[in-house]
Structure 1
Amino acid sequence: MRATMLKMPRQPSLALFWIAIIGNLVIIQLGYNVFHQIRDIPFESNLFRVFAAIFADILSNHLLFEPLLNGLILFSIIMLCRQLIQQVKLYKKWKTYIDSKSNPEMTKRFIKKFNKENLRIEVILDSSIIAMTAGLIKPRVILSSGLIERFNDQEMEAILFHEMYHSKFRHPLQLLILTMIAESLAFLPIMKSLVHHYKIWMELLADRFAIYHMGSEIQLAQVLLAVLKNNQVKSQGYGVHFVNESVNYRLKQLIDPQTPIRIPFFKQKTLLLSVIVLVMMTLIFIYGSV
């Protein structure tokens, strides 16, 4: 695989671009709506008058558009809080599991054997196949004893290079941010589609990184096929896992690395619904600004 193929392709860059554009557009519109309402509220010590002013402003000034935008703001806040709570619960569950299964001696021997002192690795005692990168600021690679026993040294090297790419670019942090954006703006289904598109490319690029350093796609292909055949993968629901929903595209890339991968950004219905919602929001925003 050529070194130029390690560069970020156009497709995932476009996905991030549109996520940023749409996200900022919505934040500006909803943020201005909040600012506009706060500006109309008199600030005084009497809370009764403050709430009366808020109620009067909603009923008399902008009856048509404020409830709609306020509903979207409330929905976004609820979804954001829900996602934060869910992530905290998943993290606690994952940390408890890792702490109970961690094996420092196996970890030390593994790091020494594969000469990966620059990569934060932790080996856990589990017969299932686990290979994942987790951690927001300082990512670490979690490998199970079952994984190490199942694959030979070259195959383990391929797995390590794949996870090294996730760690190097802090993909767990990226995944968390993008997931929270998509969930909080769920009224725009195109956001979930764009995030899903980028997540697939995260795996494809990690595979390319491994293929480039291994000099061949054979080892990675053997690992992926073995894992799929045995169906022994355990997912903790946290971090970036070696095998996920992108597996079909990964197999296509491994079979023929030189053929461009075509991944749809979204379905037509998703685009149509999102455009309708965005247009309505923009019209309401313009009307409320006049």
Structure 2
Amino acid sequence: MNAAPRLRWVYGLAIFFVVTVGVQLALYTNHSIHSDSRQCLLVAYIEIGLLAGYTLVRAGWRLGAQAYLSHKWMKHFRSIQQVKLTKRLHYKYRDLGVGLLVVRDDAFVAMAIGMRKQTIILSDTVLDMFSEEELKAIIMHEWHHCRNHDNAKLFFTKLLTEAFGYLPIMRPIYRYCHTWMELLADRFAIERMGTELPLASVLLKLSKLVNMRQHAAAVHFASATMEYRIAQVLEPDQTVKVKIAIVRPLLISLSFLLLMMISGDS
């Protein structure tokens, strides 16, 4: 099974649990409404209120935090823009159809930011650290995130993970999806470059750096999936096996759903 079917299966698993929780809440509510016991109805309303309240509050918090961080970082990046470098790079890669922004920053910064209107952010340090071929590999990687709307997909997965925090299965699903997003972006960069050497050089250099800055509200090139990415470029003919610790979270989540079913029928 290649990456695309795996990701569809994992996304489907997440949607299954989310929909099942919603259906069980609806059944539980309907059963409680038609119950003759006022005490049973009161307990049911409290339980449903706590569960639904947690879900809505966490979802609202994530939406607000994402909007705030996106605005904050975009405003910050605009304020430290390197105008001449931005124009030069934007002209060179004008066929990509996305915004390119070069900023003054001593740290390694290479990311795709935004969901509706996406922009590739690069620090001037990146332009100094890497050759033209290596820089192109980085840009191709970020361009794939833009083409594939990975920011929106990752945000949606994160939203479900936080809103349904009482389902342990959501966390490994989020980590698995994030890892494959990075691996697929690397594969795209390798295909566009015609060789894995520039990207391999970039990843090996980054693996030697410490305290790399991570910005929220973005898919960052220097992500926590470096181990798998280096393995992929060093052994391109080998299948990358991304580990997903799913058994225990799956059993706990299924137990939670079973408990909801039993409560709804009692």
TM-score over 0.5 (shorter chain): yes
Q: Does 1:170 align with 2:149?
A: yes
Counterpart contact for 1:194–1:266, Cα < 8 Å = no
One-letter amino acid of the structure 2 residue matched with residue 149 of structure 1: D
Counterpart contact for 1:162–1:206, Cα < 8 Å = yes
**Residue in structure 2 matching 1:156, options 132, 135, 147:** 135
Equivalence for 2:47:
68
5 Å-filtered alignment, 1:185-200, equals 185-200=164-179
Q: Does 1:20 align with 2:15?
A: yes
Change in CA separation of 1:230 and 1:61 when aligned onto 2, cut-off 3 Å = closer
CA distance in 1, matches of 2:250, 2:96: 46
CA distance in 2, matches of 1:147, 1:84: 31
Q: Name the count of aligned residue pairs.
A: 266
Counterpart contact for 1:65–1:284, Cα < 8 Å = no
Equivalence for 2:24:
29
One-letter amino acid of the structure 2 residue matched with residue 28 of structure 1: V
CA distance in 2, matches of 1:124, 1:59: 63
Change in CA separation of 1:34 and 1:107 when aligned onto 2, cut-off 3 Å = farther
1:179 CA drift (Å): 0.6
CA distance in 1, matches of 2:163, 2:245: 18
1:91 CA drift (Å): 1.9
Larger radius of gyration: 1
One-letter amino acid of the structure 2 residue matched with residue 262 of structure 1: K
Unaligned runs of 5+ in 1: 41-55
Counterpart contact for 1:127–1:146, Cα < 8 Å = yes
**Residue in structure 2 matching 1:86, options 37, 60, 65:** 65
Counterpart contact for 1:134–1:142, Cα < 8 Å = yes
**Residue in structure 2 matching 1:110, options 64, 73, 89:** 89
One-letter amino acid of the structure 2 residue matched with residue 124 of structure 1: V
Equivalence for 1:205:
184
Change in CA separation of 1:102 and 1:30 when aligned onto 2, cut-off 3 Å = farther
Unaligned runs of 5+ in 2: none
Q: Cα deviation per residue 1:1-29 (whole Å; 9 max; x = unaligned)? A: xxxx9x74332121111111111111222
TM-score under structure 1 length normalisation: 0.83
One-letter amino acid of the structure 2 residue matched with residue 274 of structure 1: S
Q: Cα deviation per residue 1:52-99 (whole Å; 9 max; x = unaligned)? A: xxxx99943435544333321111112112212322332232123112
Change in CA separation of 1:200 and 1:36 when aligned onto 2, cut-off 3 Å = same
1:233 CA drift (Å): 2.8
Counterpart contact for 2:113–2:120, Cα < 8 Å = yes
Equivalence for 1:101:
80
Change in CA separation of 1:87 and 1:119 when aligned onto 2, cut-off 3 Å = closer
Change in CA separation of 1:160 and 1:277 when aligned onto 2, cut-off 3 Å = same
Counterpart contact for 1:172–1:239, Cα < 8 Å = yes
CA distance in 2, matches of 1:163, 1:135: 12
Q: For structure 1, which segment, 265-274 or 148-157, has the greater mean C-alpha deviation from structure 2 after superposition?
A: 265-274
1:269 CA drift (Å): 2.4
Counterpart contact for 1:111–1:121, Cα < 8 Å = yes
Q: Cα deviation per residue 1:164-221 (whole Å; 9 max; x = unaligned)? A: 1100011111111111111000000101111211110000000000011111111111
Q: For structure 1, which segment, 141-150 or 255-264, has the greater mean C-alpha deviation from structure 2 after superposition?
A: 255-264
**Residue in structure 2 matching 1:221, options 200, 217, 224:** 200
Equivalence for 2:264:
285
TM-score under structure 2 length normalisation: 0.90
CA distance in 2, matches of 1:17, 1:64: 32
**Residue in structure 1 matching 2:112, options 121, 133, 141:** 133
CA distance in 2, matches of 1:215, 1:268: 39
**Residue in structure 2 matching 1:142, options 110, 116, 121:** 121
Change in CA separation of 1:216 and 1:267 when aligned onto 2, cut-off 3 Å = same
Q: Cα deviation per residue 1:235-266 (whole Å; 9 max; x = unaligned)? A: 22221000111111111111111211222333
One-letter amino acid of the structure 2 residue matched with residue 212 of structure 1: E
Counterpart contact for 1:75–1:184, Cα < 8 Å = yes
RMSD (Å) for aligned C-alpha atoms? 2.4
